[in-house]
Structure 1
Amino acid sequence: MRFVANLGMLFADLPFRRRFAAARAAGFDCVEFTFQQEPSGPDVAALLREHGLTQLLAGLPGAADDKGLAAAPGRESEFRERFARGLARAVEARAPLLHVTTGVVADADLTVSGDTFAANMRWAAGLAANENVCLVLEAINQTDVPGYFLRSLADTIAWLARLDLPNVGLILDLYHAAREGLPLARAVDLGLPWAWHVQVADPRTRHEPVIAGELALALRTIHRRREDATIGCEYSPAGDTVAGLAWMAELKNVW
């Protein structure tokens, strides 16, 4: 399996530009992060080349307070502008996966938001296909982000089946699955057939994973079923990032 450094969360004591070198020095050859205004697209591409890194997963630029716009009725033009900008950045960075976030939706608005989401995703998937970029969706648990449109792993998979788009897949986030109360063995069974990327964090603290119990079994199952799986380290380190990476070595004991 290939581990991917989330530069939005790891090496947080360093300025963002310096995190590329830190990730490489820590042994990563692959990174993921959400695009912001700075660094610019050319600067990101140059940093990746300089440090011999691949950006596997990109996130759309946007405001943290809206959690995305793909399912936001009345904001279609804003979503499309934001998506086109993020897709251009992904192409420039040669990132094969682009995460589309949906936004927060009230229960009463789920039907109209679903129509908006379907239309936006079909439009976005067509644009991304022209650039050989695949889009990925993720369930976000309702404790951390109440009202997020993709309310559960099962809900997200149902949408993937309904959309039936060849370049749209799943981020299987084990942290969010655990936070929604789903046993991790069940999450792997449900999600792995749809997953193009996996993300991990300790379900209780969102710090480094503790390689024991349910989580150890889930990661072992993923390794056995899909040896080429990519595992995003999407967690906030409890202390020093590099010291906290010891959990990766511990995984060898459960494989």
Structure 2
Amino acid sequence: MPRFAANLSMMYAEHAFLDRFAAAAADGFAAVEYLFPYAFEPAALTQRLADHGLQQVLFNAPPGDWDAGERGITCLPGREAEFRRGFVEQALPYAQALRCPRVHVMAGLAPAGADRAGLRATYAANLAWAAAQAAPLAIDVLIEPINTRDIPGYLLNRQDDAHALVQQVGAPNLKVQMDLYHCQIVEGDLAVKLRRYLPGGRVGHLQIAGVPERHEPDIGELHHPTLLALIDELGYDGHVGCEYRPRAGTSAGLGWFQPYKASQR
């Protein structure tokens, strides 16, 4: 049965952030993910994880100036020192403290008129460097194709492009974060994509949400029970992140989760 991680950046928004851990555990989740941990001391987060028997499975590296609209700086020439400083001084220490085995590195927005080959070369070089720093700590570095409706101008949008980049870099701990919500919007054909990419271990994390409005996975055009059964069939043993915005209260919308709840702990 799939193992799910509650995304605390989107789910349980009716609670203060540090109270979301307890709410997720009370609903039966055994793992959590979220965008960024950096507003809180590692000790505060590790205490919440320990108190509620939760595993931290994913968070993002520093993305640049998020409030100003930046969505990663990994592909931006001239920002290499800033990216690398944030990765080794913030992301990796937090990952170690939280015992989190993977960190997502956002690519960033392609500046208007920029040479995409140059952006990709910077992206690849930074990813190779980050993977080398993370490898001795047994931490995976993830990249995620994101649709351009939610983040216009995002550099990385397609699964094949992400896997080509992983192959180009060649680091065993550089993997793809496959969000079925983004993949459906950009490409569709999800069952075929899962069969193509899950075998071989190059997908390090999965995420789900209803399409098109990013609500619960039992709302919208996808039939998630079929996709989740296929994920099991293909032998994926990682977590499936629930990165969606509940339509009403989070707990009230967890009817989809009930068939899987008993297998989470």
Q: TM-score range by the shorter chain?
A: over 0.9
Aligned to 1:37: 38
2:74 and 2:106 in contact (8 A); partners too = yes
SS class of match (1:90): helix
1:177-235: CA deviation from partner (whole Å, max 9, x where unpaired)? 01103221122123323212110000111000127755432222112112524111000
Aligned to 1:122: 128
Aligned to 2:79: 75
Shift of 1:14: 0.5
SS class of match (1:199): strand
Aligned to 1:170: 176
Q: Scaled by the length of structure 2, what TM-score is found?
A: 0.89
Q: State how far apart, in whole Å, the 2-side matches of 1:234 and 1:135 are.
A: 19
Aligned to 1:216: 225
Residue 51 (str. 1) matches residue 52 (str. 2)? yes
The verdict on how the C-alpha distance between 1:143 and 1:41 changes in structure 2, with shifts beyond 3 A counting, is same
Aligned to 1:203: 211
What are the within-5 Å matches in structure 2 for residues 1-255 of structure 1?
A: 1-62=2-63, 63-64=65-66, 65-84=69-88, 85-106=90-111, 108-193=114-199, 194-210=202-218, 214-226=223-235, 228-249=237-258
Aligned partner letter, 1:185: A
1:227-253: CA deviation from partner (whole Å, max 9, x where unpaired)? 52411100000011112111123579x
2:72 and 2:106 in contact (8 A); partners too = yes
The verdict on how the C-alpha distance between 1:123 and 1:229 changes in structure 2, with shifts beyond 3 A counting, is closer
SS class of match (2:115): helix
Structure 1 window deviating more from structure 2 (134-143 vs 242-251): it is 242-251
The verdict on how the C-alpha distance between 1:114 and 1:161 changes in structure 2, with shifts beyond 3 A counting, is same
Q: State how far apart, in whole Å, the 2-side matches of 1:108 and 1:227 are.
A: 38
C-alpha RMSD of the superposition: 1.8
Q: State how far apart, in whole Å, the 2-side matches of 1:249 and 1:227 are.
A: 20
SS class of match (1:245): helix
Q: State how far apart, in whole Å, the 1-side matches of 2:243 and 2:107 are.
A: 19
Shift of 1:34: 2.3
Where do 4+ consecutive residues of structure 1 move more than 4 Å? 211-214
1:17 and 1:39 in contact (8 A); partners too = no
The verdict on how the C-alpha distance between 1:213 and 1:202 changes in structure 2, with shifts beyond 3 A counting, is closer
2:4 and 2:29 in contact (8 A); partners too = yes
1:200 and 1:232 in contact (8 A); partners too = yes
Count of residues paired in the alignment: 252
Unmatched tracts of structure 2, length 5 or more? none
Q: Scaled by the length of structure 1, what TM-score is found?
A: 0.93
